[in-house]
Amino acid sequence: MRSTRLLAFSAMVFLPLFAGPAVSAPPPVASAELIEDAAAWDGRVVTFSGEAVGEPMVRGAHAWLHLNDDAYQTRSTTEVDRRLRGYNSGQAIWAPAALALRVRTFGGYRHEGDSVRVLGTFNAACREHGGDMDIHATSLEIIREGHVVTHPLSTRRLGLGLALLALAGTLALVRRRAGRRLT
């Protein structure tokens, strides 16, 4: 018992002497913050997370990615009625191609993209890219892999669509017959 206490005390006293300075990543930032206060964030190293959407655009040794961090970033494959809320928002990421190509699944109608965390320098008006707002990534981490999204068939919408198709056909037929009578 006494030796356990001595070991614990020694660890508390001497361990900090051997540990190097703590290196911490910058706090995460949202695209809305970057847009609303771009001048304050310009040139700073930031951590940004979002769903990879679209596709990578490889340009030589680098590639463009787009990461969405909006309310639609994550969605459930079983959720039938997702309420519209907010707007689409995200950030353009310029990364070495070797990092960018780690992303395997990109979001779209049929897929939820990989959730990605990047560390990089935010540019409010990037001189290298024609004044566009972007983040030049130095590291990229896949937080969660993307997956296929299923969209269940809505029998109510299908029925309504078929009823409207039948109505349109009937109206076209009536118009054709009425046109013949006039001539």
In which band, very low, low, confident or very high, does the pLDDT at 167 lie, cut at 50, 70 and 90?
Answer: very high
- Pair (55, 92) in one structural domain: yes
User: Is 16 domain-assigned?
Assistant: no
With H, G, I as helix, E, B as strand and everything else as coil, classify residue 77: coil
pLDDT in tens, 43-70: 999 999 999 999 999 999 999 999 999 7
User: Is 3 domain-assigned?
Assistant: no
- Pair (71, 98) in one structural domain: yes
In the chain, the number of structural domains is 2
Domain span at residue 176 reads 154-183
User: Is 63 domain-assigned?
Assistant: yes
- Pair (84, 43) in one structural domain: yes
In which band, very low, low, confident or very high, does the pLDDT at 3 lie, cut at 50, 70 and 90?
Answer: low
CATH number at 99 reads 2.40.50.140
User: Is 7 domain-assigned?
Assistant: no
- Pair (27, 107) in one structural domain: yes
| Residue whose tokens read 């051997």 | 18
pTM of this structure: 0.69
In sequence order, which ranges of the chain are alpha helices (DSSP H)?
Answer: 2-18, 31-36, 38-41, 97-100, 155-182
User: Is 44 domain-assigned?
Assistant: yes
Nearest-angstrom CA–CA distance, 71 and 3: 54
- Pair (183, 121) in one structural domain: no
User: Is 56 domain-assigned?
Assistant: yes
Residue 68: closest CA among 100, 42, 99, 93:
93
For residue 166, the Cα-to-chain-centroid distance in whole angstroms is 41
Pairing relationship of beta strands 90-96 and 134-144 according to DSSP bridges: parallel
- Pair (44, 91) in one structural domain: yes
